[in-house]
């Protein structure tokens, strides 16, 4: 399948199939676990039951609140509103057993159209590919398997899903959104809405030499593309105007662009004592450090993908810093890793730091700033979970 260096905004196939979302029910299972802010926000924009787009959710800590009252979203972009999922499940096992429903308790034999995973990538604790397996079975009455959508941070984690689920359409998504769950079932959307989505078929740019992909059929490619186009349309119908489609390789390039932000801001916010993103930029030494981290990741990505620079429509480092400062003037935006640290939750150290370092090393690239933060943060996390009373940094 061909790729493009710019997002695709108006695919002709959507114009030919413009009534599909309105005429056919689209069952979407959105797994919002823990804080669940990003999953809750995007799920609330997709949920349009009057148009046949019905979102159900798997919740854990906020299960009772969401089941009884739904989710209240406070957004400067969309106002304050309440979203009531079609169904709320306490576990993936329950969602797999009951399947899509209209809120009743009866069992359904049909499958989900999309299974959206918005959880932290924690490979040392959770095997996500195995976790979602019960939801990705071939429907009893035939028809296509559900499409797996990964709205997650980091790089290199999709291949575990492809290896485990060779026949499942997989869409990889990069989000630029700031949202936080202030209380169970209460989410504040602070800033940004962009979501960029592309297929994940058999991208081999990160693989070790002894790893191979399962064969990818033309049918899987075409079905993945159709599901991609429909999902972007559903997001745009939910007023996410900057929902974008990318080709497989270009979506991975975009992942590295966002990684430059995550791999610099996230660990630094913890290591400097708990500063928000914009607050770090007020400090000259920290600003220099963050700029150096981003330059390191930018250079690595250009080498890995054999490109002279990121595409022109990707924000430069200075534009990223300016946008962060502008957003910080309106709200104190904490990097997600800092919020996890303050809650005592496990950190996405591997997906955001460890895996990029290993990929870069295989390409003969060294990331000294990122490597140093990885070493320090790994030590802090081990100390915290081995002896919670001896946490090296204040919370």
Kindly report, residue by residue over 105-156, the tens digit of the pLDDT.
Answer: 444 446 889 999 999 999 999 999 999 999 998 776 667 789 999 999 999 9
Residue 297 has pLDDT above 60, yes or no: yes
**Domain 252-385 classification at class level:** mainly alpha
Whether residue 32 is predicted with pLDDT greater than 80 in this model: the reply is no
Query: Which helix (H) or strand (E) is 120 found in, with range?
Result: none
Q: What is the pTM of this model?
A: 0.88
Residues 6+ apart with CB under 8 A from 198: 171, 172, 173, 228, 245, 246, 247, 248, 250, 251, 252, 254
Spatial distance between the Cα atoms of 64 and 245, rounded to a whole number of angstroms: 35
Looking at domain 12-246, its CATH class is alpha beta
CB atoms within 10 A of CB 19: 8
Return left, alpha or beta for 187; rule: phi > 0 is left, psi -120 to 50 is alpha, else beta.
beta
| 225-271 residue pLDDT tens | 999 999 999 999 999 999 999 999 999 999 999 999 999 999 999 99
- How would you classify residue 315: left for phi > 0, otherwise alpha for psi between -120 and 50, otherwise beta? beta
- pLDDT interval class at 327 (50, 70, 90): confident
Position 300 confidence tier, pLDDT thresholds 50, 70, 90? very high
Ranges in the chain annotated CATH 1.10.1040.10: 252-385
Q: How many CB atoms lie within 10 A of CB 155?
A: 24
40-97 pLDDT tens trace? 999 999 999 999 899 999 998 889 999 999 999 999 999 999 999 999 999 999 998 8
What pLDDT, on a 0 to 100 scale, did the predictor assign at position 329? 80
Q: What pLDDT is recorded for position 4? A: 35
CA distances from residue 388 to 267, 272, 294, 344, 392 in whole angstroms, order as listed: 19, 20, 32, 9, 9
Residue 372 pLDDT greater than 50, yes or no:
yes
9: helix, strand or coil = coil
pLDDT value of residue 7 = 47
Q: Average pLDDT of 202-227?
A: 80
Query: Is the pLDDT at 100 greater than 90, yes or no?
Result: no
Reported as half-sphere exposure (CB side, CA atoms, 13 A), residue 387 has a value of 7
Averaged confidence pLDDT in the chain: 86
Q: Where in the chain is the domain with CATH 3.40.50.720?
A: 12-246
Is pLDDT above 60 for 274?
A: yes
The number of C-alpha atoms within 13 Å of 163 and in the hemisphere containing its C-beta is 14
Alpha-carbon distance of 293 to 263, in angstroms, equals 8
CA angle 38, 41, 47 (to 5 degrees): 130
**What is residue 36's predicted lDDT score, i.e. its pLDDT?**
83
> What proportion of the chain, given as a percentage, has pLDDT over 70?
84
* CA atoms of 221 and 305, how far apart (whole Å): 22
- CB neighbour list of residue 331: distance below 8 Å, 6 or more residues apart: 178, 190, 191
Could you tell me the CA-to-CA distances from 162 to 121, 354, 359 in Å, in that order? Answer: 15, 20, 18
- Write down the pLDDT at residue 128: 95
């Amino acid at each position: 399948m061909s790729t493009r260096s710019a997002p695709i905004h108006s695919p002709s196939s959507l114009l030919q199939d413009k009534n599909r979302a309105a005429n056919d029910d689209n069952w979407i299972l959105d797994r919002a676990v823990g804080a669940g802010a990003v999953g809750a926000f995007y799920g609330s924009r997709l949920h349009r039951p009057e148009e046949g787009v019905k979102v159900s959710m798997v919740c854990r800590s906020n299960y009772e609140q969401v089941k009884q009252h739904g989710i209240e979203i406070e957004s400067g972009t969309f106002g304050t509103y309440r979203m009531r999922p079609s169904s709320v499940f306490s576990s993936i096992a329950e969602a797999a057993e009951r399947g899509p429903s209209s809120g009743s308790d009866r069992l359904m034999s049909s499958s989900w159209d999309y299974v959206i995973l918005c959880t932290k990538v924690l490979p040392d604790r959770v095997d996500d590919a195995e976790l979602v397996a019960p939801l990705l079975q071939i429907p009893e009455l035939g028809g296509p398997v559900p499409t797996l959508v990964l709205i997650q941070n980091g790089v290199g984690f999709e291949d575990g899903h492809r290896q485990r689920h060779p026949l499942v359409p997989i869409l990889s998504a990069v989000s630029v959104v700031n949202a936080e769950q202030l209380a169970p079932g209460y989410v504040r959307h602070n800033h940004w809405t962009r979501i960029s989505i592309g297929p994940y078929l058999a991208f081999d740019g990160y693989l070790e030499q002894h790893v191979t992909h399962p064969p990818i059929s033309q049918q899987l490619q075409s079905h993945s593309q159709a599901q991609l186009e429909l999902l972007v349309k559903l997001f745009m119908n939910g007023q996410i105007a900057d929902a974008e489609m990318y080709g497989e390789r270009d979506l991975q390039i975009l992942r590295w662009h966002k990684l430059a932000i995550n791999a610099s801001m996230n660990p630094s916010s913890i290591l400097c004592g708990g500063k928000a993103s914009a607050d770090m930029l007020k400090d000259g030494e920290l600003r220099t450090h963050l700029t150096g981290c981003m330059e390191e990741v930018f250079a690595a990505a250009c080498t890995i993908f054999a490109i002279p620079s990121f595409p022109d429509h990707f924000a430069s480092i200075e534009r990223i810093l300016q946008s962060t400062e502008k957003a910080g003037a309106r709200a104190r935006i904490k990097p997600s890793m800092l919020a996890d640290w303050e809650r005592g939750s496990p950190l996405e150290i591997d997906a955001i730091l460890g895996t990029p370092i290993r990929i870069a090393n295989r390409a003969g690239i060294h990331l000294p700033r990122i490597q140093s933060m990885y070493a320090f943060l790994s030590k802090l996390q081990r100390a915290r979970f081995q002896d919670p009373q001896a946490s090296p940094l204040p919370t």
